[in-house]
Structure 1
């Protein structure tokens, strides 16, 4: 059966509106990039001081996070070669040297996939179907946090000292002080509800956006983590509301609110006590549009000025075209004796 042209136009318009509505709802999280993130802010000196103040039998604290450090290395440039490059191995060794009582686990491409297939088979199709290999590196770390807990670290990050003081918080991520939260270092107790919500959101967020950077960042990377972080906190009771106490008397807020450990590189920011970062590290997944988004981040005011100017120009042009369409041609009225028929 042939669909009438007018009905076909209406169906296409409805489909376009649904798509745009869904896309806009997904992108609304960008407003959070310009404000303080939810969760409890911690500087590294504050964590170190809290550990000193609680020393001794009277100040015993509950350790939530197990002494495991996870690293993920997928060598998509040389498949099958699981030997760490020298610079990455050196950064990892700093953590081994300063944390000798921790368990260290290096997840290769083969071991990562076997872990997903064994523990989370419902996600394997999505995991295998990612367009960019770095998305598998992103997602496996979230499942590791949910399943094992511990600390996840990118291989361009190292350790300056013992990480034990960071184990007394149920869950934390790192915050660079501007823009999205980072997923370069994560830590959690096993089975935290945040990771349950996040991993279940991976499939709905698996969109193939036109730009590689957007696809990576928003389908599995830092933008995705930030969006779920804000969603999770929006569902929690307001801070200070009455709630049942946890096993150690800290209450619901301590058990379920999340922490942000600051890793701001800006001049004058709080010093890094626990972590180091390799200069020029990272970037193994860079695509052609990474520099574009880096430039936008450095010139946000100019970007938004040009964006709004472009939107205004398109709207003005569309309005002019619409007015011309509405005017069209007028039918001449028929008068007696007129030759117009």
Structure 2
């Protein structure tokens, strides 16, 4: 008969240690639940963005809207006889030095003012923006003034001025080719981005718009140094990905209109790079975007950043499966 042996004590783990380890893991997950859920919402955007897209993408069939703008007057500044839900206000933001005084951008901005001669117009500079945030959004003032990247302050300010005044917010590199009147019938409009979400370089909204209010309210929640990299930090905390994520998790997205082209040319209104659309000539001056995007591509050739990114995506997908039945909204 063989001799019966017992497992070596060196290879056995005490049940108490296992229980303690499990407790620590569960505690860490509980304490980090906010971060994990926020990571889930951001990573899940490509999976959920197109849900009910037929309701919020502007279409000729459902909305009776000409996506090419060929049937609208170049100088149309009102949606009449339909009601104007967006007030006649133009917002341009020029924080820091250079843009406000550069003759090129002044001329580009003037093209939009000329197309809307009877509209109110704001040029938000460091001084006026600081006064607005301090007076109307004091709970966000400290965070806003200490954002790591200047573009975060610009992005956050877009939402604040739109919420307070309504109207149209435009990047300084958008040259207007026509009036915005046909779009004023909608409570919110932004151009579709590729491959998902929308661009915040051009947005229209009614004053006190509920969705814009959500963008303002969630700024603090998503203010994180995402992956320790500039591009994800900007896009996930204040930029296009952030705004599109909040859009995607609204219960009713029907009135949150996205402007894309007709079938066969869905990117007609995309503002990606130097392009000409039915509404704008986009001069494509987003150098911070190009620089950081190039940096992300170069980093992708190494393996150092894949582990944390893969962890976030993995956790996000797990949360997505669990949350599908609960349908928690932002």
TM-score (norm 1): 0.67
String of CA shifts for 1:233-258, please: whole Å, max 9, x gaps. xx129xxxxxxxxxxxxxxx5xxx21
Q: CA deviation at 1:88?
A: 1.4
SS in 2 for 1:48: coil
Q: CA deviation at 1:285?
A: 6.0
Q: What residue number does 1:21 align with?
A: 36
1:68 paired with 2:59, answer no
Distance of aligned partners of 1:175 and 1:269 in 2 relative to their CA distance in 1, 3 Å threshold: closer
Report if aligned partners of 2:99, 2:172 keep a CA contact under 8 Å in 1. no
Report if aligned partners of 1:47, 1:166 keep a CA contact under 8 Å in 2. no
C-alpha distance in 1, partners of 2:159/2:103? 26
String of CA shifts for 1:173-224, please: whole Å, max 9, x gaps. 1113423311000001101111122211111111112111111000111110
Report if aligned partners of 2:67, 2:260 keep a CA contact under 8 Å in 1. no
Report if aligned partners of 1:173, 1:186 keep a CA contact under 8 Å in 2. yes
1:291 paired with 2:312, answer no
Which of 101, 119, 122 pairs up with 2:139? 122
C-alpha distance in 1, partners of 2:165/2:179? 20
Distance of aligned partners of 1:46 and 1:179 in 2 relative to their CA distance in 1, 3 Å threshold: closer
Q: What residue number does 2:248 align with?
A: 230
SS in 2 for 1:62: coil
1:276 paired with 2:281, answer yes
SS in 1 for 2:172: coil
SS in 2 for 1:260: strand
1:109 paired with 2:126, answer yes
Q: CA deviation at 1:42?
A: 2.9
What are structure 2's unaligned runs of at least 5 residues?
1-15, 60-64, 270-276, 311-330
Q: CA deviation at 1:273?
A: 2.0
TM-score (norm 2): 0.69
C-alpha distance in 2, partners of 1:23/1:191? 25
Which of 44, 56, 81 pairs up with 1:40? 56
Q: What residue number does 2:179 align with?
A: 162
C-alpha distance in 2, partners of 1:269/1:27? 23
SS in 1 for 2:127: helix
Q: CA RMSD in A?
A: 3.8
Report if aligned partners of 2:68, 2:261 keep a CA contact under 8 Å in 1. no
Which of 77, 91, 98 pairs up with 2:108? 91
Report if aligned partners of 1:146, 1:192 keep a CA contact under 8 Å in 2. yes
Report if aligned partners of 1:71, 1:155 keep a CA contact under 8 Å in 2. yes
String of CA shifts for 1:254-300, please: whole Å, max 9, x gaps. xxx21112279x9785472222211x42224665x42144689xx9x
String of CA shifts for 1:23-55, please: whole Å, max 9, x gaps. 542333333487477452237843736757xx9
What are structure 1's unaligned runs of at least 5 residues?
238-252, 312-341
Number of residue equivalences: 271
Q: What residue number does 2:314 align with?
A: none
Report if aligned partners of 2:163, 2:207 keep a CA contact under 8 Å in 1. yes
